[in-house]
Amino acid sequence: MTAELPSLVLRGTTLRFAGNPFDMPPEEALIADPDGAIIIENGRISAVGSFSTLASTLPATLPIIDHRPCLIGPGFIDAHVHYPQFGVIASYGEQLLSWLERYVFPEERRFADRAYADSIAGAFLDSLLDHGTTTAAVYCTVHPESVDAFFSASRQRNTRMIAGKVLMDRNAPDFLRDTAQQGYDESRDLIDRWHGQGRQLYAVTPRFAPTSTEEQLTLAGALLDTAPDLFMQTHLLETKQEARWVEALFPHRAGYLDVYDQAGLVRPRSIFGHAVHVTENDLTRCAHAGCTLAHCPTSNAFLGSGAFRLFEAMRPDRRVHVALGSDIGGGNSLSMLRVMNDAYTAAQTHGTSLHPVQSYWLATAGAAQALGLAPTIGRLEEGAEADLCVLNPQATPLLAQRAARAESVSDLLFALLMLGDDRAIEATYIMGRRHRASP
């Protein structure tokens, strides 16, 4: 396969990080070269620099794609998304628990049918790439077929994806329930089949504490020790109603996070979606454990769940890893530009301002670092996989007139985050291959 991967040069405004914009002035953390070049050999970045310097070193046979005046950066990383909810995105009138019952569970039932799962998995992945997202942590359904469908579609596109079978052995309709043992066995089979195969990575996926018995959560913890570098994903403290339910279901635990902790689920490569209603103790524990919180502001606004306290989570003295998630269908857009827009709004409601370079970091290099995937993805660096997203600041008339007034690259980035969506994605590259390019 590697022999078939493309070699080429991309020219445009390259976006690189000098460091973490939460640890240094954000303006200094972004290095933008208005006439930069990225050399891709066999699907990997072999050099990044100014076009004029690199041009003389290029073999004449290497195609040059000129993306000026667009910005070229790493592909976006969506740390929390449900592919089976692609069809019920934008469903009216409910909050979390009734929304799950009314829209999500009936739709997830359909993924017992492999052909249906195949069709949604393909459409979802193509749409994700149209939105500039090249890696995502993805929930499938309780059906192993839904996982095979997803990873097959990802393998076909050669995307780096994290996904897993949902575990649910109680408080869900019988057509969506497994048992603790069945969930373990099916997950084990799927790990053997997919984890580390090509670019595919497996996440053990208990949906959330209310839909798993303690036995199932404990077995989920045991699964994490059966192969190296497995991920874990679940939901945590998304709404107050859900938090009260967990207290009633697990009265002997110190809190919602402790339910997961006692099962061995709070560790590096564990991704907790939402965490809107976390306490200071929770944040201290997360910082210690090295797990990641997936901030899903679009979903939190859409479902009326609340606003995550990003700057509290990122406090330097006990920094918690944070990444961003679209959480469709709780979120109503796959666009990480829209998610960054809503992350800005969520921070504003707490009286804080999220700088565009900080936001861009959370959606790219910061997420890769949080998930243990740096330096493989998330940055324009020599040796990294060439998963790239090209942003067009002139995609719409509204954006173009604002872009013309931009005072700096970070101001231009801010305009893109506030006004952009999939129309601003000029191109997406997966290991150097352009998505939707004609063969």
Query: Interface with ligand GUN includes 96 (CB under 6 A)?
Result: yes
Q: How far apart are CA 199 and CA 435, in angstroms?
A: 16
Nearest residue to Zn ion on Cβ basis = 327
Among 17, 208, 250, 256, binds ligand GUN (CB under 6 A): 208
Query: Interface with ligand GUN includes 275 (CB under 6 A)?
Result: no
| H helix count then E strand count, the chain | 18, 16
* Closest distance to ligand GUN from the beta carbon of 110 (Å): 15
Name the residue nearer to ligand GUN (CB basis): 3 or 92. Answer: 92
* Closest distance to ligand GUN from the beta carbon of 330 (Å): 3
Residues 304-323 touching ligand GUN, rule: CB under 6 A, are: none
Q: How far apart are CA 49 and CA 186, in angstroms?
A: 47
What letter does residue 197 receive in the DSSP assignment?
S
Among 143, 165, 235, 277, binds ligand GUN (CB under 6 A): 235
The residue behind tokens 């620099």 is 49
Among 15, 104, 291, 413, binds ligand GUN (CB under 6 A): 104
Query: Interface with ligand GUN includes 299 (CB under 6 A)?
Result: yes
Q: How far apart are CA 134 and CA 430, in angstroms?
A: 7
Q: Report residue 200 CA to chain centroid gap.
A: 14
Element (H, E) at 344: helix 336-349
Query: Which amino acid makes up residue 255?
Result: G
Among 11, 82, 285, 355, binds ligand GUN (CB under 6 A): 82
Taking residues 128 to 167 in sequence order and writing x for each that binds Zn ion by CB under 5 A, - otherwise, the string is ----------------------------------------
199-to-122, 135, 166, 355, 379 alpha-carbon distances in Å: 16, 10, 21, 32, 17
Query: Interface with ligand GUN includes 424 (CB under 6 A)?
Result: no
Query: Interface with Zn ion includes 108 (CB under 5 A)?
Result: no
Name the residue nearer to Zn ion (CB basis): 43 or 325. Answer: 325
Name the residue nearer to ligand GUN (CB basis): 70 or 203. Answer: 203
Taking residues 259 to 288 in sequence order and writing x for each that binds Zn ion by CB under 5 A, - otherwise, the string is --------------x---------------
Query: Which amino acid makes up residue 322?
Result: V
* Closest distance to ligand GUN from the beta carbon of 326 (Å): 10
> Which bin fits 6, alpha (ψ -120 to 50), beta or left (φ > 0)?
beta
Query: Which amino acid makes up residue 176?
Result: L
246: partner contacted, choices Zn ion, ligand GUN, none (Cβ within 5-8 A by kind)? none
- For 284, the token pair is 């201290």
Residues 327-366 touching Zn ion, rule: CB under 5 A, are: 327
Q: Are 17 and 31 in contact (CB under 8 A)?
A: yes
- For 372, the token pair is 């243990």
Query: Interface with ligand GUN includes 426 (CB under 6 A)?
Result: no
104: partner contacted, choices Zn ion, ligand GUN, none (Cβ within 5-8 A by kind)? ligand GUN
Q: Which of 14, 4, 10 is nearest to 62 (CA)?
A: 10
Q: How crowded is residue 170: how many other Cβ atoms within 10 Å of its Cβ?
A: 13
- The residues of the shown chain that bind Zn ion, judged by CB under 5 A, are 273, 327
- The residues of the shown chain that bind ligand GUN, judged by CB under 6 A, are 82, 96, 100, 104, 207-208, 235, 238, 299, 327, 330
